[in-house]
Chains A and B, each alone.
Chain A
Amino acid sequence: MTLYILCFILFCVGLYGVLRKRNLVKIIIGLGIIEYSMNLFFVLLGYRLQGRAPIDAQHQDILNMVDPLPQAVVLTSIVIGLGITALVISIAIRIYEKYGTFDITKIRRLKG
């Protein structure tokens, strides 16, 4: 249970970064933290105490197997997170070229 609470705190830290920080780079770091926390949460769902990797070796009885599906899913999700981070960072760099600042309170040419 402690692990889940820590995971939730991590999520809140990320959300705080996205919502409250003014620097574009810090917002992107916040997004990264949200992604870590959600991946961690999904892996935790498949974990069991004293579990071992679900690798089927010959002449071995596997008793406590962790659920392999969340691990496969999280692997995909990490790649997606990488794609988003790369795209957002490149947009932030172009924004810096145009506006000369990373401060979102100064980047507001769009109304509303």
Chain B
Amino acid sequence: MANIVPFFTIIPLFTAFAISLLGRIFKNAFIHTLSIVSQFILLVLSLLSSVLLHRFVDGKILVYKIGGWIPPFGICMVLDGLSSFMLVTVNLLAFFVAIYSLNYMNKYTDKPKFFTLFFLMLTGMNGVIVTGDLFNLYVFLEIASIAGYALVAFGTEAEELEASFKYAVMGSVASAFIFIGIAFLYGFVSTLNMADMARILGTKTNQWVLPFVSALFFMGFGLKAALVPFHAWLPDAHPSAPASISAMLSGVLIKALGIYALARILFNIFGILPVYSKILMFLGALSMLVAVVLALSQWDLKRLLAYHSISQIGYIALGIGLGTPLGILGGLYHLFNHSIFKSLLFLNSGAIDYAINSRDLKDMSGLRERMPITYHTNLIASMSIAGIPPFNGFFSKLIIIIACIQSGYITYAIAAVVGSLLTLASFMKVQKFAFLGELKEKYRDAKEVPLAMQLSMVVLSIICITGGLLLLPSLRYFLDNAVNVLLDGSNYANRVLETALK
């Protein structure tokens, strides 16, 4: 049963190398089939693992020992509720982005290289999620980041190169901070296994190294997650990438590399202390407000969306930082919802770019008539992100706000409501300038995008509408298992070590 865990990294890694080796020889059809098939297998595997984990596994945790070595000595891979939640989110999105890219990437020249980098990034993200070893986490984080730097520069235009350079330099400095943090932690506990680390930290009475290490991790992972004081690279990097990659970067990369890794370390290794959760909540509330104000004045469609990514990451950090069951539920649920609607919005912007070759809101108008599917899916996604009732964004924001009030943080609750209203305002601006109004003469012959792009946009918008169903009692386990892992705190160590020794 535990043998399915390594396949989440093996399949994309294998696909990446197969495409880079054979892509030159075979036609595009081969690349398309290979990437869709392997992405589909990943999606099925992640959904299956989520269901199996809930139904058939005692303790809801699977540990795979690489090479048969017992955890403190060898690297292990851990699949628990939180990992399987993140895996479903990442692979669900990657599947639709891969479908979208089949047509969209015709704008660019080199499809084999694109899919190679895409799958390498996926390897990195899946690896970060399933790994149970802190240094291994760093390695996978670097794989995903390096593929991300290269994908941002994929168009090799002047702006894209500039953004990629900025992103690469800041990302490398962040990685250096993470690495030094890991080094200090290793010097203190003499192990790199996450579960063993948590166990040894629990036995030490004087944890003088933790404040310093957690400051380094806040800087490092905070920069990867683009929380506000560390956000400067995101509004340049995400709009510059091809739209499908913007969707992946904004949708899942900042969450898998930033929020997930930070939450895993703070909650499961350090055992959450009130100080950390206060810092996390403060950073979250700050990002929520600052970024949404900056977003209001943007006229570049993708740049506006990128600022909203920072703001929505703030909601997630606030929810998880609360540390109460309801708060974590809201944070993780918003993580899932945000990955769906934000990537849908980026795919919409890519569709507009594909049809009329422009990203400037002042330049476009009245596209509703020419691109009905893009218009309707964009409307759904806009209402989701703004938190209009029947859509998924409403429920997660509501849970976060209720959780804030419940734990007595009224200021943060008000900040969340204000952020939500400003989000609504800026998306009304997008609707008004992009889709409503007079159709301009030069866009008279703008065409709706090809079928594969339409398909992935429509399916994602259906998930936006039905996302609220995840709160139903029969489907709640998907979220609840993830929440329980974080609530368990340092008990993670015992569960992993016990399962591994079985």
Query: Which residues in A have some Cβ–Cβ distance to B below 8 Å?
Result: 11, 15, 18, 24, 27, 31, 34-35, 38, 41-42, 45, 69-70, 73, 76-77, 80, 83-84, 87-88, 91-92, 94-95, 98-99, 107-110, 112
Specify which chain A residues have a CB less than 8 angstroms from the CB of B475 in the assembled complex. Answer: none
Specify which chain B residues have a CB less than 8 angstroms from the CB of A91 in the assembled complex. Answer: 149, 153, 161, 164-165, 168
Partner of A31, one of B153, B161, B163, B173: B173
Partner of B179, one of A24, A38, A83: A38
* Contact present for B165 and A92 (CB under 8 Å): yes
Q: Does B480 contact A (CB under 8 A)?
A: no
* Contact present for B165 and A38 (CB under 8 Å): no
Interface residues of B in 137-168 (CB under 8 A from A): 138-139, 142, 146, 149-150, 153, 156-159, 161-166, 168
* Contact present for A98 and B169 (CB under 8 Å): no
Given known A-B contacts A34-B173, A73-B135, A73-B192, A110 and B146 have beta carbons under 8 A apart: no
Specify which chain A residues have a CB less than 8 angstroms from the CB of B138 in the assembled complex. Answer: 77
* Contact present for B158 and A45 (CB under 8 Å): no
CA distance A45 to B135 in the complex (A): 15
Specify which chain A residues have a CB less than 8 angstroms from the CB of B176 in the assembled complex. Answer: 34-35, 38
Specify which chain B residues have a CB less than 8 angstroms from the CB of A107 in the assembled complex. Answer: 162
**Minimal Cβ-Cβ distance residue in A for B186:** A45
Minimal beta-carbon separation of B362 from chain A (angstroms): 15
Minimal beta-carbon separation of B393 from chain A (angstroms): 26
Specify which chain B residues have a CB less than 8 angstroms from the CB of A110 in the assembled complex. Answer: 159, 162-163, 166, 236, 240
Q: Does B331 contact A (CB under 8 A)?
A: no
Q: Does B235 contact A (CB under 8 A)?
A: yes
Chain A interface, DSSP helix/strand/loop, else mixed: helix
Query: Which residues in B have some Cβ–Cβ distance to A below 8 Å?
Result: 135, 138-139, 142, 146, 149-150, 153, 156-159, 161-166, 168-169, 172-173, 176, 179-180, 183, 186-187, 192, 235-236, 240
Minimal beta-carbon separation of A80 from chain B (angstroms): 5
* Contact present for B161 and A95 (CB under 8 Å): yes
Specify which chain A residues have a CB less than 8 angstroms from the CB of B165 in the assembled complex. Answer: 24, 88, 91-92, 95
* Contact present for B179 and A87 (CB under 8 Å): no
**Minimal Cβ-Cβ distance residue in B for A93:** B161
**Minimal Cβ-Cβ distance residue in B for A27:** B169
Specify which chain A residues have a CB less than 8 angstroms from the CB of B192 in the assembled complex. Answer: 69, 73
* Contact present for A45 and B187 (CB under 8 Å): yes
* Contact present for B172 and A84 (CB under 8 Å): yes
Minimal beta-carbon separation of A57 from chain B (angstroms): 22
> Nearest 6 CB-CB pairs, A to B?
A98-B158, A45-B187, A42-B183, A80-B142, A95-B161, A34-B176
**Minimal Cβ-Cβ distance residue in B for A73:** B135
* Contact present for B169 and A18 (CB under 8 Å): yes
Given known A-B contacts A31-B169, A87-B168, A88-B169, A94 and B142 have beta carbons under 8 A apart: no
Specify which chain B residues have a CB less than 8 angstroms from the CB of A99 in the assembled complex. Answer: 158
Specify which chain A residues have a CB less than 8 angstroms from the CB of B240 in the assembled complex. Answer: 110
CA distance A55 to B173 in the complex (A): 34
CA distance A92 to B162 in the complex (A): 9
